[in-house]
Amino acid sequence: MSLQHMGKGALRVAKNYTKGYSDVQAKVRDATSNDPWGPSGTQMNEIAQLTYNQNDFVEIMEMLDKRLNDKGKNWRHVFKTLTLLDYCLHAGSENVVIYFRDNVYLVKTLKEFQYIDEDGKDQGANVRQKAKDITNLLQDESRLRQERRSRANMRDRMTKGGSTS
Protein backbone atom coordinates (compact mmCIF):
# COMPACT_ATOMS: atom_id res chain seq x y z
CA MET A 1 0.00 0.00 0.00
CA SER A 2 1.51 3.30 -1.03
CA LEU A 3 1.78 6.19 1.35
CA GLN A 4 -0.57 8.18 -0.82
CA HIS A 5 -3.34 5.67 -0.32
CA MET A 6 -2.63 5.42 3.40
CA GLY A 7 -3.19 9.13 3.57
CA LYS A 8 -6.46 8.86 1.71
CA GLY A 9 -7.60 6.10 4.04
CA ALA A 10 -6.94 8.26 7.07
CA LEU A 11 -8.80 11.12 5.45
CA ARG A 12 -11.78 8.85 4.83
CA VAL A 13 -11.86 7.88 8.49
CA ALA A 14 -11.86 11.55 9.44
CA LYS A 15 -14.62 12.32 6.94
CA ASN A 16 -16.78 9.48 8.21
CA TYR A 17 -16.53 11.09 11.62
CA THR A 18 -17.07 14.74 10.68
CA LYS A 19 -19.91 14.02 8.26
CA GLY A 20 -21.61 11.87 10.86
CA TYR A 21 -21.75 8.72 8.77
CA SER A 22 -22.82 5.62 10.66
CA ASP A 23 -20.67 2.50 10.95
CA VAL A 24 -22.71 0.83 8.24
CA GLN A 25 -22.30 3.80 5.90
CA ALA A 26 -18.58 3.87 6.63
CA LYS A 27 -18.43 0.23 5.52
CA VAL A 28 -20.09 1.10 2.23
CA ARG A 29 -17.76 4.06 1.77
CA ASP A 30 -14.75 1.83 2.39
CA ALA A 31 -15.95 -0.78 -0.07
CA THR A 32 -16.57 1.83 -2.78
CA SER A 33 -13.60 4.13 -2.18
CA ASN A 34 -11.16 5.55 -4.72
CA ASP A 35 -8.53 2.95 -3.80
CA PRO A 36 -7.52 1.12 -6.96
CA TRP A 37 -8.49 -2.32 -5.57
CA GLY A 38 -11.55 -4.10 -4.24
CA PRO A 39 -14.24 -4.19 -3.05
CA SER A 40 -13.31 -7.51 -1.47
CA GLY A 41 -15.69 -10.45 -1.29
CA THR A 42 -15.70 -10.25 2.47
CA GLN A 43 -16.67 -6.57 2.40
CA MET A 44 -19.45 -7.14 -0.12
CA ASN A 45 -20.80 -10.15 1.73
CA GLU A 46 -20.92 -8.28 5.01
CA ILE A 47 -22.82 -5.38 3.42
CA ALA A 48 -25.20 -7.73 1.59
CA GLN A 49 -26.06 -9.42 4.89
CA LEU A 50 -26.67 -6.04 6.52
CA THR A 51 -29.38 -5.24 3.94
CA TYR A 52 -31.62 -7.76 5.72
CA ASN A 53 -31.86 -5.34 8.63
CA GLN A 54 -34.35 -2.58 7.79
CA ASN A 55 -32.41 0.28 9.42
CA ASP A 56 -29.13 -0.76 7.89
CA PHE A 57 -30.88 -1.19 4.54
CA VAL A 58 -31.99 2.44 4.48
CA GLU A 59 -28.51 3.67 5.36
CA ILE A 60 -26.89 1.48 2.73
CA MET A 61 -29.28 2.62 -0.02
CA GLU A 62 -28.61 6.24 0.89
CA MET A 63 -24.87 5.72 0.49
CA LEU A 64 -25.17 3.70 -2.74
CA ASP A 65 -27.31 6.52 -4.11
CA LYS A 66 -24.67 9.14 -3.24
CA ARG A 67 -21.86 7.11 -4.77
CA LEU A 68 -23.77 6.30 -7.97
CA ASN A 69 -24.32 9.97 -8.61
CA ASP A 70 -20.68 10.88 -8.14
CA LYS A 71 -18.78 12.84 -10.78
CA GLY A 72 -16.57 11.49 -13.56
CA LYS A 73 -13.31 12.05 -11.73
CA ASN A 74 -14.57 9.65 -9.08
CA TRP A 75 -15.44 6.98 -11.65
CA ARG A 76 -14.09 4.35 -9.25
CA HIS A 77 -16.81 5.27 -6.77
CA VAL A 78 -19.40 4.67 -9.44
CA PHE A 79 -17.82 1.49 -10.77
CA LYS A 80 -17.30 -0.09 -7.38
CA THR A 81 -20.78 0.87 -6.28
CA LEU A 82 -22.18 -0.94 -9.33
CA THR A 83 -20.02 -3.96 -8.41
CA LEU A 84 -21.36 -3.88 -4.87
CA LEU A 85 -24.90 -3.39 -6.12
CA ASP A 86 -24.58 -6.39 -8.41
CA TYR A 87 -23.49 -8.47 -5.43
CA CYS A 88 -26.34 -7.20 -3.25
CA LEU A 89 -28.92 -7.90 -5.97
CA HIS A 90 -27.77 -11.53 -5.88
CA ALA A 91 -27.08 -12.07 -2.20
CA GLY A 92 -28.77 -9.20 -0.35
CA SER A 93 -32.35 -8.78 0.81
CA GLU A 94 -35.26 -8.75 -1.63
CA ASN A 95 -35.68 -5.07 -0.73
CA VAL A 96 -32.55 -4.22 -2.70
CA VAL A 97 -34.18 -5.70 -5.80
CA ILE A 98 -37.43 -3.81 -5.19
CA TYR A 99 -35.63 -0.53 -4.53
CA PHE A 100 -33.52 -0.67 -7.67
CA ARG A 101 -36.36 -1.84 -9.84
CA ASP A 102 -38.27 1.25 -8.71
CA ASN A 103 -35.26 3.41 -9.39
CA VAL A 104 -33.81 1.56 -12.36
CA TYR A 105 -33.23 4.85 -14.17
CA LEU A 106 -30.39 5.61 -11.75
CA VAL A 107 -28.43 2.72 -13.24
CA LYS A 108 -29.85 2.91 -16.75
CA THR A 109 -28.71 6.49 -17.26
CA LEU A 110 -25.13 5.44 -16.48
CA LYS A 111 -25.01 3.54 -19.78
CA GLU A 112 -23.48 6.66 -21.35
CA PHE A 113 -21.19 7.52 -18.44
CA GLN A 114 -18.09 9.32 -19.66
CA TYR A 115 -14.70 9.89 -18.19
CA ILE A 116 -11.35 10.20 -19.93
CA ASP A 117 -8.47 10.43 -17.44
CA GLU A 118 -5.34 12.60 -17.67
CA ASP A 119 -3.55 9.89 -19.67
CA GLY A 120 -6.34 9.86 -22.22
CA LYS A 121 -7.60 6.48 -21.04
CA ASP A 122 -11.35 5.90 -21.30
CA GLN A 123 -12.25 4.95 -17.73
CA GLY A 124 -15.95 5.33 -18.46
CA ALA A 125 -16.08 2.09 -20.45
CA ASN A 126 -16.09 -0.08 -17.30
CA VAL A 127 -18.97 1.88 -15.84
CA ARG A 128 -20.96 1.76 -19.10
CA GLN A 129 -20.62 -2.02 -19.42
CA LYS A 130 -21.54 -2.68 -15.81
CA ALA A 131 -24.53 -0.33 -16.02
CA LYS A 132 -25.72 -2.22 -19.10
CA ASP A 133 -25.36 -5.62 -17.41
CA ILE A 134 -27.21 -4.55 -14.28
CA THR A 135 -30.01 -2.85 -16.24
CA ASN A 136 -30.54 -6.04 -18.23
CA LEU A 137 -30.54 -8.09 -15.04
CA LEU A 138 -33.08 -5.80 -13.37
CA GLN A 139 -35.35 -6.00 -16.40
CA ASP A 140 -35.22 -9.80 -16.59
CA GLU A 141 -37.18 -10.87 -13.56
CA SER A 142 -36.98 -14.63 -14.13
CA ARG A 143 -33.23 -14.58 -14.64
CA LEU A 144 -32.64 -12.53 -11.50
CA ARG A 145 -34.90 -14.84 -9.51
CA GLN A 146 -33.04 -17.87 -10.72
CA GLU A 147 -29.62 -16.37 -10.05
CA ARG A 148 -30.67 -15.43 -6.53
CA ARG A 149 -31.93 -18.97 -5.93
CA SER A 150 -28.81 -20.72 -7.16
CA ARG A 151 -26.68 -18.35 -5.10
CA ALA A 152 -28.67 -19.18 -1.97
CA ASN A 153 -28.37 -22.90 -2.72
CA MET A 154 -24.64 -22.61 -3.08
CA ARG A 155 -24.34 -20.76 0.20
CA ASP A 156 -26.41 -23.45 1.91
CA ARG A 157 -24.23 -26.20 0.56
CA MET A 158 -21.04 -24.44 1.57
CA THR A 159 -22.19 -23.77 5.11
CA LYS A 160 -23.50 -27.33 5.55
CA GLY A 161 -20.21 -28.75 4.40
CA GLY A 162 -20.29 -29.69 0.74
CA SER A 163 -20.84 -33.27 -0.41
CA THR A 164 -22.94 -34.51 2.53
CA SER A 165 -26.27 -33.58 0.93
Partner 1 sequence: LPTRPVDRDKAEAELILNIKKATSPEETAPKQKHVRKCIVYTWDYHSSASIWTGLKVQPILADEVQTFKALITVHKILQEGHPVTLKEAQQQVGWFDTCARTVGNDGSKGYGQLIRSYVAFILSKLRFHRHRPEFNGLFEYEEYISLKGIDDPNEGYETISDLMNLQDQIEQLQKLVFAHFRHSANNECRISSLVPLVKESYNIYRFITSMLRAMHRRTNDQEALEPLRSRYNSQHHALRKFYFECSNLKYLTGLINVPKLGTEPPSLFDNGQTPDLP
Please report, as ranges, the residues that interact with partner 1 according to CB under 8 A.
61-62, 65, 69, 71-72, 99, 102-103, 105-106, 108-114, 122, 125, 128, 139
**Smaller CB separation from partner 1, 42 or 109:** 109
Round to whole Å and give the CA distance between 70 and 82. Answer: 12
Q: Could you count the other beta carbons within 10 Å of the beta carbon of residue 109?
A: 13
We find the least distance from the C-beta atom of residue 41 to partner 1, in angstroms, to be 28
User: Cα separation of 33 and 30, whole Å?
Assistant: 5
Q: Which is nearer to partner 1, 40 or 146 (CB)?
A: 146
Tell the smallest beta-carbon distance from residue 158 to partner 1 (Å): 34
Q: How far apart are CA 107 and CA 127, in angstroms?
A: 10
Smallest separation, CB 3 to partner 1 (Å): 32
Q: b vs e for 66-77, b when ≥16 Cβ sit within 10 Å of the residue's Cβ?
A: ebbeeeeebbbb
When the beta carbons of 5 and 132 are compared against partner 1, the nearer one is 132
CB of 155 to partner 1, least distance (A): 28
Are the C-beta atoms of 57 and 51 separated by less than 8 Å? yes
